[in-house]
Structure 1
Amino acid sequence: MIGVMNAPVDPGCVSRSDLNWLLHRAAQKLGAFAQEAAARHGVTTRGQLVLSALISEEFRRSQLALGQALGLDKTTLTAELDRLERAELIVRKPDPADRRVRVPVITERGRAVQAEVEKLHVRVESEFTAGLEPAEAHVLRALLQRLIVSDHRPDSGSCL
């Protein structure tokens, strides 16, 4: 088991019922375990998010477009790309159409790390939702996706 998912909970914390608090607390708990899994491979959860985006792209994106797609501001994304580049998980290449623009590209090592961390994240999510029936976990995911896409206001802040 990754982390200690069944640690005692402060009863004062679980009595809250407002949706914002519940979503935040669930994300906080799941995020801590996901970060622990990512750290085993020397990346942050945000780094895994970037690697996953780069591995899934069928086209190349500038740093600016990648940041916009992930909801990461320029400073946050640049710092994360610096870390990933130092770890040789990505390289930043000049865009052939505009040499002033940098395009992050995942390396083979980055692909391997991303795949390993993805496996751990799947395991973490399975352990986190183990108290739910499979159908309940599916409904939870579907409802959260619906809530996210139904809000047509612009995204604000980082997705992590």
Structure 2
Amino acid sequence: MNSPPDPACEFRTSLNWLLHRAAQKLGTVAQEAAGRHGITMRGHIVLTALAGERSKRTQLALGHALGLDKTTLTAELDRLERAGLIVRQPDPNDRRVRVPVITGEGRAVQVEVEKLHHEVEREFIADLDPQEAKALRALLERLIASDHRPDSGSCL
């Protein structure tokens, strides 16, 4: 599974490159885990957002919360709906607007993929001792929180 580093990338040490490469490696394995249940990483993030909601929100509000544009979110919701993992209901306040709602099957898939993602993360950081893993997470959270510019792009 581990191939030798690309010679063109061997001497890359910039923080941007290191973070991107680590995210790319983790993301590839996480996507494979989600794919075992017929969804994408983005689909898992949508299901997770819907599973955790205490109140329903429109597609537009969901897209804003996840940093997904209308076209990307609609395509993802279409896939999830075809798979029976969500339904889109009319908004009681405006019947032209749709509210995505997770189904029972969607909740089950979300839980299973979440378990796989935790396993993938544990394997990814297995070479770190517990203190290093804790420090890595704390440092990344601090870096993200310290940047007060608006988020750009999606959460995935």
TM-score range, shorter chain: over 0.9
Residue matched to 2:20 = 24
CA deviations 1:43-91 (Å, max 9, x no partner) are 0000000001111111111111111111111110000000000000000
2:102 is aligned, of 101, 106, 120, to 106
Residue matched to 2:43 = 47
Equivalent-residue separation in structure 2 for 1:12 and 1:99 (angstroms): 55
Q: Number of residues paired by the alignment?
A: 156
- Give secondary structure in 2 for the equivalent of 1:154: coil
Residue matched to 1:148 = 144
Shift in Å at residue 14 of structure 1? 4.3
**Which structure 2 residues correspond to residues 1-160 of structure 1 after superposition, within 5 A?**
4=1, 6-10=2-6, 12-160=8-156
CA deviations 1:102-152 (Å, max 9, x no partner) are 111000000000011001000000000011111111111111111112212
What amino acid does structure 2 have at the position aligned with 1:144? L
Greater Cα offset, 46-55 or 142-151: 142-151
Equivalent-residue separation in structure 2 for 1:61 and 1:9 (angstroms): 45
Shift in Å at residue 9 of structure 1? 2.9
Equivalent-residue separation in structure 2 for 1:134 and 1:11 (angstroms): 32
RMSD: 1.2
Question: Structure 1 residue runs of 4+, over 4 Å off?
Answer: none
Equivalent-residue separation in structure 2 for 1:113 and 1:64 (angstroms): 24
What amino acid does structure 2 have at the position aligned with 1:106? I
- Give secondary structure in 2 for the equivalent of 1:43: coil
Q: Tell me, which stretches of 5 or more residues in structure 1 are unaligned?
A: none
Identity of aligned pairs, percent?
Answer: 74
TM-score normalised over the length of structure 1: 0.92
What amino acid does structure 2 have at the position aligned with 1:42? G
Q: Tell me, which stretches of 5 or more residues in structure 2 are unaligned?
A: none
What amino acid does structure 2 have at the position aligned with 1:148? I
Equivalent-residue separation in structure 1 for 2:128 and 2:115 (angstroms): 20
